[in-house]
Amino acid sequence: MAGAPLVVGLAAAVALSGGGAVAVSVALVESQRISGAADAAALAGADALLGWVAEAPCASAARVAEVNRARLSACRVDGVEIVVTVSGAAAGIPVERSARAGPARS
């Protein structure tokens, strides 16, 4: 029975490190989801900017961000370019991501 404390200690260490890895993985997935929401919001705003959607560009971007469980925190239209910033939380940590849609820059 002298080895029982060692086995229990090793099992606890494995469980704790596994739990930490899961938490980090969840945070990374949520961060990528928010990045995707920023991309989708920028593209939706660009569609509205070009007249393909009968809605104001920033309103369209906000609607799409909300559908993707994020919040539009900034929206700037400059000519035929739109830059949006969306925010959300990844494992309880606030995250902001920005995206741009418009013609290619040279």
Residue pair 53/44 in contact by the 8 Å Cβ criterion: yes
What pLDDT, on the 0 to 100 scale, is given for residue 30? 84
| Separation of alpha carbons 40 and 44, rounded Å | 6
Q: Please give the single-letter amino acid code of residue 97.
A: R
Q: What domain count does the chain have? A: 1
Residue 49 within a domain: yes
How far separated are the first and last CA of the chain, in Å rounded?
71
Residue 106 within a domain: no
What pLDDT, on the 0 to 100 scale, is given for residue 19? 64
Structural domain span for residue 70: 3-101
Residue 65 within a domain: yes
What pLDDT, on the 0 to 100 scale, is given for residue 23? 67
What pLDDT, on the 0 to 100 scale, is given for residue 28? 79
What pLDDT, on the 0 to 100 scale, is given for residue 59? 97
List the structure tokens of 73. Answer: 């925190």
Comparing CA positions, the residue from 78, 99, 82 lying closest to residue 46 is: 82
Block mean pLDDT (10 aa), the chain, length 106: 70 69 73 94 96 94 96 95 93 90 86
